[in-house]
Amino acid sequence: MGAVTSGPEPAADYLRTGDVFERPFLLGAATAAYQIEGAADEDGRGRSIWDTYSHTPGLVAGGDTGDVAADHYHRLGEDLDLMNGLGLDAYRFSISWPRIQPGGTGPANRRGLDFYSRLVDGLLERGITPVATLYHWDLPQELEDAGGWPLRDTAYRFAEYAGLVADALGDRVPMWTTINEPWAAAYLGYGSGVMAPGRTDGAAALAAVHHLNLGHGLAAATLRERSAPGTSVSVTLNMHAARDGGDGGPEAVERVDALANGAFLGPMLRGAYPERLLTDTQDVTDWSFLRDGDLDLIHQPLDSLGVNFYSTVTVRMWDGTGEKTSADGHKPSTATPWVGSESVEFLPQPGPFTAMGWNIAPEALEQVLVGLGNAFPDLPLIVTENGAAFDDRRTPAGGVHDTGRIDYLHRHLVACARARERGVDLRGYFVWSLLDNFEWAHGYEKRFGVVHVDYDTQRRTVKDSGHWYAQLARTRRIG
């Protein structure tokens, strides 16, 4: 659709002060179950693909696993008070599917539901809006063994799980997100294999794309049916802002836009896959998994679109000579996540960079929001994740002076304010992340929290960025 790709923007001051985010604009923080909860074997929880992946030697930095993580499962009260202390309007968390259905099918595990019920009640008691994501990548291992997301049946299992959760929490959760970043689940999980379940099969990745879309549509309809009237239903996509990097740049940008953005925006919001996606991938799959009626099931009315944004990519078509660079921000692999577009070259980005090696480009967030606002003018947007990893150190005096993160958040919040000035209906911003946590294949090395976690003691320390964000939430104004 070309709507969320970007070229250079006129220079702007992304460190200006004074921008105002009056309520009901939501200033929140986000986490995900496997990244913070720990308690991997408790209260009947089953295993997910991330348990298997992280316990496979060599796949996660430092051999780290989510077994203990930030121990949030046992520190719920303390963490709720922490959120309250930061003055958050909203908290975005995910529900662990294997806590609810340990084997991916069958009745709900009451103890699993109870945990989320306590979480939701604890948020509501503190005046914090719960924003619940059903799927942030922790597929029950049994469902992967049966075929995983490349298998159509998984979408129907997901809808069943959605129904169980809606029946238990749908009276109290006002905002749902079906799936977090289906892009990563499909292409990194089944294409390049740098995320669970670690498969490297392009055709399987595209089948996963379709069944994640189908799962989204079925779950969205189920949530709508089985939650309180007025409940908001959404999905979170990580928008790729692709910049033209020279030879064949426009072609490369269009390929990336179709494969990364259009593959989800198209069916979910327009009821069709982009033509270009089908042709770009025709040598990989015949798309026979796409059945009559599927697009209607996927194309459900949504109340908002969640946008995750971190950085940009710069692309051109590889001319076949020399070494092809693959600086797409993801862990290198023998296989590509860019299924059918292996000929796209990802050029090194201009800095500055975060500790992930991701470039800092707030103007691209503004462009993404404006692009989406123009393409879907009636759909409110929410930035459901934005933030940065830096090599934080706690000083002997006990503070964490993460000025780099404050600078990053400041710039991106100004980008949000600028997008709103340009007419975008942006309703909220969630910092990634509330707490330092298990950063997938990077383990605990990468710290994204506005709250520091000492993994030896599980002590929480609000970083300077957390204090900065709390001030914003209190004053509603970038100071």
State the binding string over 220-259 for ligand FCB (x if CB under 6 A, else -): ------------------x---------------------
CB of 289 to ligand FCB, least distance (A): 25
Q: How far is the CB of 349 from ligand FCB (least distance, A)?
A: 17
Does position 438 interact with ligand FCB (CB under 6 A)? The reply is no
Check if 421 is active-site.
Answer: no
Interactions with ligand FCB, residue window 360-389 (CB under 6 A): 385
Q: Which stretch binds ligand FCB (CB under 6 A): 163-171, 178-186, 327-335, 340-348?
A: 178-186
For ligand FCB, the binding residue among 373, 439, 447, 453 (CB under 6 A) is: 439
Indicate the residue among 36 and 207 with the shorter CB distance to ligand FCB. Answer: 36
Q: How many residues bind ligand FCB (CB under 6 A)?
A: 12
Q: Which of residues 10-39 bind ligand FCB (CB under 6 A)?
A: 32, 35
Q: Which stretch binds ligand FCB (CB under 6 A): 152-160, 180-188, 216-224, 268-276?
A: 180-188
Tokens 């430092």 map to which residue? 62
**59-67, 176-184, 205-213, 457-465 -> range binding ligand FCB (CB under 6 A):** 176-184
448 lies in the site for ligand FCB, by CB under 6 A: yes
Q: For residues 366 and 307, what is the distance between their CA atoms, to the nearest angstrom?
A: 12
Exactly one of 144, 181, 366, 439 is catalytic; which is it? 181
Q: Is residue 180 close enough to count as binding ligand FCB by CB under 6 A?
A: yes
Nearer to ligand FCB, 180 or 304 (CB): 180
Query: Mask: binding to ligand FCB, 288-327, rule CB under 6 A, as x and -?
Result: --------------------x-------------------
Cβ pair 426, 26 in contact under 8 A: no
Q: Least separation, in Å, of the C-beta of 186 and ligand FCB?
A: 13
Q: Give whichever of 184 and 212 is closer to ligand FCB, judged by the CB atom.
A: 184
Q: Does 385 qualify as catalytic in the annotation?
A: yes
With CB under 6 A as the contact rule, which of the stretches 79-87, 143-151, 179-187, 261-269 interacts with ligand FCB?
Answer: 179-187
Q: Considering the complex, what minimum distance in angstroms separates the CB of residue 307 from ligand FCB?
A: 11
- Is the distance from CB of 420 to CB of 365 less than 8 angstroms? no
Instruction: Kindly give the interhelix angle for 110-125 and 152-169, rounded to the nearest 10 degrees.
Output: 50
Cβ distance to ligand FCB smaller for residue 53 or 432? 432
Pairwise CA distance, residues 285 & 291, whole Å: 14
Check residue 181 for interaction with ligand FCB (CB under 6 A): yes
258-289 per-residue burial string, b: 16 or more CB within 10 A, e: under 16: bbbbbbbbbbbbeeebbebbbebbeebbeeeb
Tell me the closest approach of the beta carbon of residue 363 to ligand FCB, in angstroms.
20
My answer on whether omega of the bond before 433 falls inside 30° of 0, hence cis, is yes
Structure tokens at 341: 């577009």
Q: How far is the CB of 30 from ligand FCB (least distance, A)?
A: 8
Q: Which of 216, 208, 217 is nearest to 186 (CA)?
A: 208
- Bridge partners of 280? none
Sequence-separated (6 or more) residues with CB below 8 Å from residue 399: 461, 463, 464
- Among 37, 345, 385, 439, which one carries the catalytic annotation? 385
Cα–Cα distance between 330 and 327 in angstroms, integer? 7
Active site residues: 181, 385
* Residues forming the site for ligand FCB (CB under 6 A): 32, 35, 180-181, 184, 238, 308, 385, 432, 439-440, 448
